[in-house]
Chain A
Amino acid sequence: MRVMKPGLFTTVQDLGRPNAISAGVPPGGAMDRFAHRAANLMAGNDEGAATLECTLSGPGLIALEPCLVAITGADFDPHVNDEPVQMWTSIFLSEGDELSFAGRRSGARAYIAVAGGIEGDRWLGSLSTYMLAARGGMHGRLLKAGDEIGIAGQPSAPAISGRQLAHALRPRYSDHTLHAIAGPHIKRLGAEGRKTLFGSPFSVSRDADRMGYRLEGPVLDASGDELLSFGLTAGAIQVPRSGQPILLMADHQTAGGYPVVATVASAAMPVAAQLLPGDEVTFAEVSIEAALRMRAAQRAALELLRS
């Protein structure tokens, strides 16, 4: 495919490079893993193939060869040759067909999978773009007009157009409740602070990117003895001295010493990935068992796309 318009912030992403964490390199990868996996499975790929992650606006692409694509995640109103097309559905593009996006209707990040997977530079075991080091994906940078996107290999399942994920099985992105599990330093908040964390609305500040989101709202007091730095994970909710929590996302710093009061359930991270500055968000405390049930439900939905 040829890139006619790059979109605001379009990168190649897969499921990241977890083995590089011990070198201080963020795990990276698609922010919304459910949308990424679903797009791949609809296009007949393994769920870890690379996709395009499109932030806030979509690209304009022309198919140089016939191909099967699937678009998931945020709704940017996709069109093929100026005709609206369905999301969460595999669609066939003929040579010369133009895929474009009319504009953002909801959410932050859309994913485009192509049968065979997007080709890109492999760095430390992953095709994910990591711009700070200018490595991975499309030469470690954003897509730009004129780029040619290659296909990595053969799809693992037959190319079938119309493969679709039912509405009820898609994430409820409009519900900004993030289920979270109490973290190592939750006791520092006290009973009142814990009630504030789990229940009060926070809003996503302008300081929100692939590394993490600074949240605004009620001030949390997690002060206490200085902590020795320890390994972090995506979804961790840190409370620095300012008392305004930080939600860590895919390109998070790998270690830090701020208290971690809770961690967002892995099944709630797709919703987190679709938040934008100004969005209101509420954390709801869940047990590990409840979080794993949510995770299992998402896995079951994805399994339906394999059959």
Chain B
Amino acid sequence: MRTHPLGDAALLAELGTRLDTALNTRAIALAAALKKRRDVRQAIAGYASVTVHFDPDQTTHDALAAAIKRLASKRPPMSEPGRLHRIPVVYDGPDMEAVAATLGLPPAKIAEIHARPIYRVFLIGFVPGWAYLGPLPEELELPRRHVPRTKVPAGSVAIAGRQSGIYPLSTSGGWHLIGRTSVKLFLPDSDPPCLFRAGDRVKFFAARE
């Protein structure tokens, strides 16, 4: 494990560099353990890392880094399997034809492959309610679009690399849009204001409308 300063009041603790469920489980457990400390203001799990915001009046970067190393070496407690969300998708996204052409697969097959696995929510971030889902089956692996869209409609179901995601709000975005869902991911009047949590599981299924 390595730690790096992120300014004078935060640090990044890296558990690894691979997209890996076990590493992500450890990151989520480490973030939860760190949040209980009085000198920690906030701990956010990434794919395989934890970003820790701390109070420099109560601790130093080096002291906290040492404490994190001790915590990370402990075996994480057995974690409950995350909640399972079933998400209906209409597979008619504006990039479906182009994705089908690039991959040399018919759109129906792309939909079938995309809906096959149970995805893990690796982390929540980027914009409110966005969840990084993975791993996407290798057959659908594509680099991001060369030119990102300035406006992606909310509810768009997208893929890039070995990941999938759903745009919770209308934002800019560089992923390939293969479908859409009516499920709301950003719930501004709930607390927490999002449907998914890190560690949850997601199953897509094809829907007509």
A binds B: yes
Residues of A within 8 A of B (CB): 18-26, 123-124, 132-135, 180-184, 225-233, 235-236, 253-256, 260, 263-267, 288, 291-292, 295
Complex interface: chain B residues within 8 A of A183 (CB): 4-6
6 nearest A-B pairs in the assembled complex, by CB-CB distance: A255-B125, A231-B51, A230-B46, A263-B7, A231-B44, A184-B4
A233-B10 CB under 8 A given contacts A21-B44, A132-B169, A225-B17: yes
Nearest Cβ distance between residue B66 and chain A, in whole angstroms? 15
Interface string of B1-38 (1 = CB under 8 A from A): 00011111110101001110000000000000000000
- Interface positions of B from 55 to 113, Cβ below 8 Å from A: 56, 60-61
Say yes or no: is B191 at the interface (Cβ < 8 Å to chain A): yes
Asked if A18 and B41 sit within 8 Å, CB to CB, the answer is yes
In the complex, the number of residue pairs spanning A and B with C-beta atoms less than 8 Å apart equals 138
Bound-state CA distance A133–B192 (Å) is: 14
Measured in the bound complex, the distance between the Cα atoms of B21 and A94 in whole Å is 63
Check A236 against B6 for contact (C-beta < 8 Å): yes
| Interchain CA distance A84-B191 in the complex, whole Å | 45
Contact across chains for B10 and A263 when beta carbons are under 8 A apart: yes
Tell which of A21, A134, A181 touches B8, judged by Cβ atoms closer than 8 Å: A181
**Interface majority SS on B: helix, strand, loop or mixed?**
loop
Pick the most buried of A23, A180, A264, A266: most chain B CB atoms within 10 A of its CB. Answer: A23
Known: A263-B6, A263-B10, A291-B7. A233 touches B169 (CB 8 A): no
The DSSP consensus for interface residues of chain A is: mixed
Given the complex, which residues of B lie within 8 Å of A181, measured CB to CB? Answer: 5, 7-8
Residue B194 at the chain A interface, CB threshold 8 Å: yes
22 A-B contact pairs sorted by A residue (CB < 8 Å): A22-B124, A22-B192, A22-B198, A23-B193, A24-B168, A26-B128, A123-B188, A133-B193, A183-B5, A184-B6, A225-B17, A228-B18, A231-B49, A233-B51, A235-B7, A260-B12, A263-B6, A265-B8, A267-B8, A288-B5, A288-B61, A292-B56
Judging by beta carbons under 8 Å apart, are B128 and A233 in contact?
no
B158 at the interface (CB under 8 A from A): no
- B51 in contact with A230 (CB, 8 Å): yes
A256 to B174, CA, bound (A): 13
Docked Cα-Cα span, A132 to B124, in Å, equals: 17
* A28 smallest CB distance to B (angstroms): 11
Asked whether any CB of chain A lies closer than 8 Å to the CB of B47, the reply is yes
| Complex contact B123–A255 (CB within 8 A) | yes
Q: Beyond the given A19-B42, A233-B51, could you list 13 further A-B residue pairs with CB under 8 A, ordered by the A residue number? A: A21-B125, A25-B128, A132-B128, A132-B169, A183-B5, A228-B46, A230-B12, A233-B9, A233-B53, A253-B127, A254-B126, A255-B124, A288-B60
* B5→A263 contact, CB < 8 A: yes
Name which residue of chain A comes closest to B131, CB basis. A24
Asked whether, in the complex, the Cβ of B48 is within 8 Å of the Cβ of A228, the reply is: yes
Contact for A25 among B48, B53, B193, B198, CB less than 8 A: B193
How long is the Cα–Cα vector from A60 to B40 in the complex, in angstroms?
Answer: 41
Tell yes or no: B204 within 8 A of A by CB. no
CA distance A117 to B21 in the complex (A): 46
The residues of B that contact A132 with a CB separation of less than 8 Å are 127-128, 169, 171
Chain B residue, CB-CB nearest to A228: B47
CA distance A231 to B27 in the complex (A): 12
User: In the complex, which residues of chain A have a beta carbon less than 8 angstroms from the beta carbon of B6?
Assistant: 183-184, 232-233, 236, 260, 263
- Closest Cβ neighbor of B198 among chain A residues: A22
Whether A135 lies near B4 (C-beta < 8 A) is no
Q: Give Cα distance in the complex from A133 to B194, angstroms.
A: 12
CA distance A270 to B50 in the complex (A): 27
B175 to chain A: which residues have CB within 8 Å? Answer: none
> Would A255 and B188 count as touching, CB distance under 8 A?
no
Say yes or no: B47 contacts A229, CB within 8 Å.
yes
Shortest beta-carbon distance, A188 to chain B, in Å? Answer: 12
Chain A residues with CB below 8 A from B18, complex form: 228
What is the 8 Å Cβ interface bit string for chain B, positions 159-171, against chain A (1 contact, 0 not)?
A: 0010000001101
Chain B residues near A229: list those with CB within 8 A: 46-47, 123, 125-126, 132
CA distance A123 to B192 in the complex (A): 11
User: Which A residue's beta carbon lies closest to that of B46?
Assistant: A230
Known pairs A124-B191, A228-B47, A231-B50; A295 contacts B56 (CB<8 A):
yes
Q: Is the CB of A255 within 8 A of B10?
A: no
Q: Is the CB of A264 within 8 A of B123?
A: no
Query: Does B186 sit within 8 A of A, measured CB to CB?
Result: yes
Residues of B close to A225: CB separation below 8 A? 17
**Does residue B130 face the partner (Cβ distance < 8 Å to A)?**
yes
